[in-house]
Amino acid sequence: MSVNVPLGPLLDPAFHLGAVPTTWAELLGFGTGAVNVWLVVRQNILNWPIGIANVMLLGLVFLDGGLYADSGLQVFYIGLQLYGWWMWLYGGDGRDNLPVRRTRRDEWAALLVAGAAATAFLTWALSVWTDSTVAFWDALTTSISLMAVYGQSRKLLESWWLWITADLVYIPLYFHKDLKLTGVLYVVFLTLCVFGLRAWRRDLRARTAGEPAAAAA
């Protein structure tokens, strides 16, 4: 089943990479995506509204490219982005004070079960109801990304490892689908994720080291 939706000028070519056109949606998705991840690394709450703009743009790109699960994922992302925005504002001890922490074993278990179930269901759904040529990989990256954005919304350190895993699959997938600029964007994402992991780990260590001293005082 193919999907043909009039998506307007955002899907017009902005320029060409060789013979492959790059749409305005993909170009704007590149810019907002890079800024979004950079702000997450810095734990800046503005990452959430910029992230919402980013997922709306990429949703158009993925729908046009036949990555149906990734396109549908963006709808869930908007809800999770709003949830994350609220958590970073009010989920900590005070406004804008949600601390970085490690993922508990029960959280890992729940995430892995949910991720495996989502991958299996989406692989089946994409194979039966769409003309996707990459059903399993589309489903897998979708599931890992949902796990990662949930972890990010609660500032779980290991959410960066989930993003890194997803990006390592996304990069060849997007090049395979001729979404070359998006593939390059995910190389940038991968680099920023490594920086994010290191930055959040330093923040966690500094906070943990300061807790005994604060308790003694």
Longest dimension (CA), the chain: 66
What is residue 131's DSSP assignment? -
Q: Across residues 92-103, what is the average pLDDT?
A: 76
| Buried b or exposed e, range 24-63, using 16+ CB within 10 angstroms | bbbbbbbebbbbbbbbbbebeeebbebbbbbbbbbbbbbb
Other beta carbons within 10 Å of 204: 16
Q: Across residues 147-156, what is the average pLDDT?
A: 93
pTM of the shown model:
0.79
Token pair for 22: 């790059």
Question: Can you give the pLDDT at residue 169?
Answer: 94
What's the pLDDT tens digit per position in 40-49? 999 999 999 9
Question: Can you give the pLDDT at residue 217?
Answer: 42
